[in-house]
Amino acid sequence: MNLIFLGAPGAGKGTLATLLSKEYRIPQISTGDLFRAAVKEGSELGRQVRGIMEKGELVPDSLTVELVKERLSKPDARGGYILDGFPRTVAQADALAEFQKIDAVINFSISDELVIRRLSGRRVCRSCGAIYHIENMPPKVEGTCDRCGGELYIRDDDKIDSIKNRLRVYKEQTEPLIAYYRDRAVLREIDSSKSPQDSLAQIESVLE
């Protein structure tokens, strides 16, 4: 099954893609991972990506699409895959449609308030990278890692202004894809405001 997970930052797409990928035994493909892998491999595309990322610029659509196309042609993606965080724009969706048939697009719906609460509550350990949440998974001692005693901090991405900015970009660039895929009769909606287990059950039910 060829799947796309669509939704705002903090909606839980990545977590659910990991869960479903294990259950269906299909790869979870995110553009962030593809960029990192290409850079590491040092391929021609990878060198281009590295140059762009070092300048702090966004990887252009054409290059992103090329990397996705290459990844989807690998044998492990023949039986299906989950695209997590791609396409991000209608232009990318059009490009994808030229070489792939998508069976279903899962839209993770969630309120802005909950996104802000989820992301702004996240704390990361400076030493070992462990992730906590002040409401859902608090450390035993505030500001200190349970595992290694390291200092917990808020990543720049998880600061309120940055979250609001990410939500704005999502609404402008990516939200139009909801109507795009609804028009193509592949959109399935789930309410991702509860636990990952609850979202997983909903996804299984809409894919039946």
Contacts with Zn ion by CB under 5 A lie at 125, 127-128, 130, 145, 147-148, 150
Half-sphere exposure in the Cβ direction for 170 (13 Å, CA) = 21
Catalytic residue, chosen from 71, 88, 123, 188, is 88
Q: Which is nearer to Zn ion, 124 or 200 (CB)?
A: 124
Nearest approach in angstroms of CB 1 to Zn ion is 37
Q: In sequence order, which residues have a C-beta less than 8 Å from that of residue 40 and are 6 or more positions away?
A: 46
**Among 132, 127, 131, 133, residue whose Cα is nearest residue 148:** 127
Nearest approach in angstroms of CB 131 to Zn ion is 10
Catalytic residue, chosen from 71, 118, 122, 123, is 122
**Among 106, 138, 96, residue whose Cα is nearest residue 16:** 106
Q: Which is nearer to Zn ion, 25 or 147 (CB)?
A: 147
**Among 130, 137, 178, residue whose Cα is nearest residue 155:** 130
Nearest approach in angstroms of CB 141 to Zn ion is 12
Catalytic residue, chosen from 78, 147, 155, 184, is 155
Nearest approach in angstroms of CB 132 to Zn ion is 9
Active site residue 155: yes
Catalytic residue, chosen from 13, 71, 118, 188, is 13
Active site residue 188: no
C-alpha–C-alpha distance, residues 12 and 85, integer Å: 11
Count CB-CB contacts under 10 A for residue 61.
15
Q: Which is nearer to Zn ion, 146 or 175 (CB)?
A: 146
Q: Which is nearer to Zn ion, 99 or 153 (CB)?
A: 153
Q: How far is the CA of 17 from the CAs of 2, 20, 86, 154, in angstroms?
A: 12, 5, 12, 24
Active site residue 13: yes
Segment 39-48 long-range contacts (CB within 8 Å, at least 24 positions apart) = 45/70
Catalytic residues: 13, 88, 122, 155, 166
